Amino acid sequence: MKLSGPPREDIQMKEYRIEKDYLGGRKIPSDAYYGINAVRGRENFNISADKLDPVLIKSMAMVKKACAIANCDSGSNDCSGGDGHSGGLAKGIALVISEACDRIIGGGYNDQFIVNPIQGGGGTSINMNANEVIANLALEILGQNKGEYEIIGPLKHVNMSQSTNDVFPTAVNLTLLSKLKRLLKAIDDAESILLAKSREFDSVIKMGRTHLNAAQPISFGQCFNACALMVTRDRVRIKAAANILRYVPFGGTIVGTGLGASPEYRKSAIEHLRKISGENVRLCSNLADGIQNADVYAALSSALKVCMLNLSKIASDLRLLGSEPQYGLGELQLPPRQIGSSFMPEKVNPVMPELINQVAFMVCGYDLTVSMAAQSGQLELNVFKPVIAYSLFKSIDMMTEAIELFNKYCLTDIKIGKALQPQDAVV
């Protein structure tokens, strides 16, 4: 159901509007959907050009939509009498908030999320930025001016029954679950390619080396199979860590007691979130656990780090085995991707394995950040979840892109090198 009203003649006539909070008033561009809290957050945390992850923005909108519908469900039977303070949300307001959330889920308003992803306040600026954009979108749909929060307010209506402390980690978990699907597909593909290579090279014997010196013969089939099994374990570890993320502290409000949100709301909200997101999310058995502890993120980060360490080991071995035959080993031939030297134009370097090595270095650094942030939470809240989320998003995105490229431009077309052609090999 669309709730659109006629355009107001006085909309956008001014260059700015005035919004006020506890600290005073600020000028907001009249065409901006964000509000005073987002502006303060942008000013306070202006440390880089980084923007909020688009998938996180989409996840926040999904969470807010589920909250609006649940607040309507938990009010009066016809959902028509909620005023933001009596435990229910009016049906008309819930519907227009839902429509605003759908527009954000569609991806058309990412530029209105202006706060830096790394911030003080445990993600409050991200939550408030979302509340303001949704409220002003809803007002626009109704034909009202942005900033007329007595009609639909960021806190009174959009944030009803919520705290940053429960909605932000819930959105983070949804984002991680979404991103991990593509990463796991890339890892599956790497595993399949390595297994295929193990069959292709099963009869090719090379000299096995320990301490970089000759030891005993071994087949390339065994070597590639060993690599595939290592990647299999990585996939299992990451999947196990991801499954724990399905338990979210949704409805726990500030410290996990659920104060300010009814049990009916919590039950309804998680059910609607499952339908909206398509993810089988469930409530934590102890909502306080999901708010104050971050070990699930540290476990995922560790699994990502181990995966990249393993892939970096494979990449380093390929660099050695694929070194040119006259002065190197030459036992594998890596696909040539580009000229490798500005001074020696005929030189071709193993650039794809080197990419994997460097992404591994980055993921190890992000893992240290996640570890320190997870350990540094105090009492009933870990306020460092913004940097945890940022680090995990970066790791997953880089890993996904790098592994997909590694699969396509390196692993798939590896051949036996000139120093060890199949016809010369011991079988």
Q: DSSP letters of 375-415? A: HT-BTTB-TTHHHHHHHHHHHHHHHHHHHHHHHHHTGGG-E
Percent of the chain scoring above 90 in pLDDT: 87
Using an 8 Å Cβ cutoff, are 425 and 417 in contact? no
Q: Mean pLDDT, to the nearest integer, of 80-96?
A: 69
Q: Which of 73-82, 242-251, 339-348, 375-384 has the lowest mean pLDDT?
A: 73-82
- Report CA-CA distances (Å) from 212 to 227, 318, 321, 353, 414: 18, 14, 11, 19, 22
Position 199 scores a pLDDT of 98
Q: Is the pTM of this model over 0.85?
A: yes
Q: Is 323 marked active-site?
A: no
Query: Does pLDDT of 422 surpass 70?
Result: no
Position 418 scores a pLDDT of 87
Phi, psi of 20 (to 5 degrees): -125, 150
Using an 8 Å Cβ cutoff, are 327 and 417 in contact? no
Residues 6+ apart with CB under 8 A from 382: 122, 291, 292, 293, 294, 373, 374, 376, 388
Q: Mean pLDDT, to the nearest integer, of 76-89?
A: 46
Position 328 scores a pLDDT of 87
Domain span(s) for CATH 1.10.275.10 in the chain: 16-160
Position 12 scores a pLDDT of 46
Position 83 scores a pLDDT of 35
Q: Mean pLDDT, to the nearest integer, of 414-422?
A: 82
pLDDT category at 1 given cuts 50, 70, 90 is very low
Please give the Cα distance from 303 to 161 (Å, whole number).
35
Q: Mean pLDDT, to the nearest integer, of 308-314?
A: 98
- 368 alpha-carbon distance from chain centroid: 17
Q: Which fold has domain 16-160?
A: Fumarase C; Chain B, domain 1 (1.10.275)
Please give the Cα distance from 128 to 126 (Å, whole number).
6
Please give the Cα distance from 399 to 180 (Å, whole number).
10
Query: Does pLDDT of 87 surpass 90?
Result: no
Q: Mean pLDDT, to the nearest integer, of 372-385?
A: 97
3-state helix vs strand vs coil in the chain, percent to 5: 55, 10, 35
Position 340 scores a pLDDT of 82
Please indicate whether residue 35 or residue 14 has the higher confidence score (pLDDT). 35
Mean pLDDT of the chain: 93
Position 35 scores a pLDDT of 98
Q: Mean pLDDT, to the nearest integer, of 22-37?
A: 96
Using an 8 Å Cβ cutoff, are 183 and 400 in contact? yes
Please give the Cα distance from 101 to 94 (Å, whole number).
10
Please give the Cα distance from 20 to 36 (Å, whole number).
7
**Would you say domain 176-249+285-424 falls under CATH 3.40.640.10?**
no
pLDDT category at 77 given cuts 50, 70, 90 is very low
Position 4 scores a pLDDT of 55
Please give the Cα distance from 192 to 182 (Å, whole number).
15
Domain span(s) for CATH 1.20.200.10 in the chain: 176-249+285-424
Phi, psi of 330 (to 5 degrees): 65, 20
Query: Does pLDDT of 9 surpass 90?
Result: no
> Length of the chain in residues, anyone?
427
Position 311 scores a pLDDT of 98
> Of 341, 342, 371, 376, which one is the catalytic site residue?
341
pLDDT category at 14 given cuts 50, 70, 90 is low
Position 79 scores a pLDDT of 40
DSSP category for residue 332: E
Beta strand spans in 186-294 (E): 205-210, 213-219, 247-248, 282-283
Six token digits for residue 6: 């006629």
